[in-house]
Amino acid sequence: MEELEKLKRELKDLNAEYAKIKDVPAEKRGEFGRELNAKKTEILNRIKEAEDAMLDAEVKPLDITAPCSPNEPLPEVYSVFEGSEHPLMTELDRVIEIYQLMGFDVVESRQLDDEFHMFDSLNFAKEHPARDGYDTFRTEEGLIPPAHTSTMQHRVLKAYKHNLEEGKEIAVVVPGRVYRNEDVDATHEHTFYQCEGVYVSKNCTLGNMLGILREFFEKYYEQKLNIRTQPGYFPFTEPSLEFMIEKPKALGGKKGDFLEMLGCGMIHPNVLKMAGIDPTEYHGFAWGGGIDRLVMLRYGLKDVRNFESGNLNFLKEF
Ligand code: DAH
């Protein structure tokens, strides 16, 4: 580069010499001109050589995010590994698509919520021990990273209430990331994903809900399933159920091997009332369950901690 600049400077100086021709005595002009031309040809040749050498030089790709000097060779890891979508996000998209095909709207949950949406709006009585069952984290300001996607029920009911006034139903699913302050092991994570469903209309029943859930699970696992429910307890539903599927043979299940997949029930009249919906006129059902567990069953995964671990060997399997 320096060499090239030096040559170009020489060329410029030489060109200035040509102006002197007119001052040279006539009989010497020919020789003077020939000398200048010879010098010029030589410089032009050297410029061409220098430029060709630059073109041949290896050009390194510049990764401005790499934690190394752009003029150093790239470490192997940056040049060979291509990233990909996290398997939970791929599966969550499938989940959402199945519900969308059934006519559900999608509303995203949030990462930080408050006492009202986590508990009060869901009919948890003040000081009720059920509040402790959710192992919530709290910020110093008293905010709560949501422990379930049910925190969105009140907002969804209010935002979609106009559907009912227009003679339509409310049908919304809410995917989201949730957080629980509990001991972590192969089946428990402090951070995981849930998907909530909320449905309200004039005359819907538990039977409708079971139909929707069966349809969802059979689509997700791409096969017919045996389902079962057992009584549960949630302050925001009455009655409350736990929804179970029989672990499919193809996924290593035996007959009678029922797995609890989510909590559900008819939305408690108080929850509807708090959102300004008349429970004597409208009924609703809701459900919520973990996405991680759903995905683990589909792929035969044994340890939920892999999802949040950032373990590349695990992620590369998908
Ligand atoms: N939020 C509950 C949990 O995380 C699950 C649940 C139960 C959601 C009943 C619902 C419901 O919408 O109606 O344990």
Question: How many angstroms separate the alpha carbon of residue 135 from the centre of ligand 1?
Answer: 14
Q: Which atom of ligand 1 is nearest to the CA of 178?
A: 4
Alpha carbon of 1 to ligand 1 centroid (Å):
69
**Rg of the Cα trace of the chain?**
35
Question: How do 105-106 and 170-179 pair as beta strands?
Answer: parallel
For residues 110 and 167, what is the distance between their CA atoms, to the nearest angstrom?
A: 29
The answer to whether residue 80 scores a pLDDT higher than 70 is: no
Model pLDDT, residue 2: 77
**Confidence at 178, pLDDT banded by 50, 70, 90:** very high
Confidence band of 77 (pLDDT split at 50, 70, 90): low
* Cα–Cα distance, 172 to 160 (Å, whole number): 9
- Average pLDDT, stretch 265-282? 98
* Residue whose CA is at the smallest distance from ligand 1 atom 4: 148
For residue 290, report the distance from its CA to the centre of ligand 1, in Å.
Answer: 10
Average pLDDT over residues 262-291: 98
* pLDDT in the model for residue 20: 87
Domain boundaries, the chain: 2-56, 87-315
- Tell me which of 131, 135, 196, 234 to substitute to probe ligand 1's pocket, judged by most ligand atoms within 8 Å of the beta carbon: 234
**In a mutational test of the pocket of ligand 1, which residue from 264, 271, 291, 292 has the highest number of ligand atoms less than 8 Å from its CB?**
264
Tokens, residue 95 = 């989940």
Q: Whose CA is nearest to atom 9 of ligand 1?
A: 264
Query: Mean pLDDT throughout 168-195?
Result: 96
d(CA 205, CA 169): 13
87-315: CATH number: 3.30.930.10
Beta bridge partners of 195: 175, 289
Residue 51 has pLDDT above 90, yes or no: no
Please report, for residues 244, 245, 257, the alpha-carbon distance to residue 248 in angstroms, rounded to integers and kept in the order given: 12, 8, 9
Q: Mean pLDDT of all residues in the chain?
A: 92
pLDDT of residue 205: 97
- Summarize the confidence of residues 153-178 as an average pLDDT: 98
CB 213 less than 6 A from any atom of ligand 1: no
Q: Which helix (H) or strand (E) holds 92?
A: helix 87-101
Per the CB < 8 A criterion, the answer to whether 44 and 10 are in contact is no
Lowest mean pLDDT among 78-92, 161-175, 257-271, 290-304: 78-92
pLDDT in tens, 97-131: 999 999 999 999 999 999 999 999 999 999 888 88
Instruction: Give the residue-averaged pLDDT of 292-296.
Output: 96
Q: For 2-14, write each residue's pLDDT tens digit.
A: 788 899 899 999 9
Handedness of CA 223, 228, 231, 237 (dihedral sign): positive
> CA distances (Å), 201 to each of 48, 63, 80, 92, 120, in order?
81, 55, 54, 26, 23
Cα angle: 297, vertex 300, 302; to 5 degrees: 95
Nearest to 293, CA basis, from 254, 251, 265: 251
Ligand 1 atom 8: residue of nearest CA? 288
Q: Are 72 and 300 in contact (CB under 8 A)?
A: no
CA–CA separation, 227 vs 264, rounded Å? 14
Residue 192 is predicted with a pLDDT of: 97
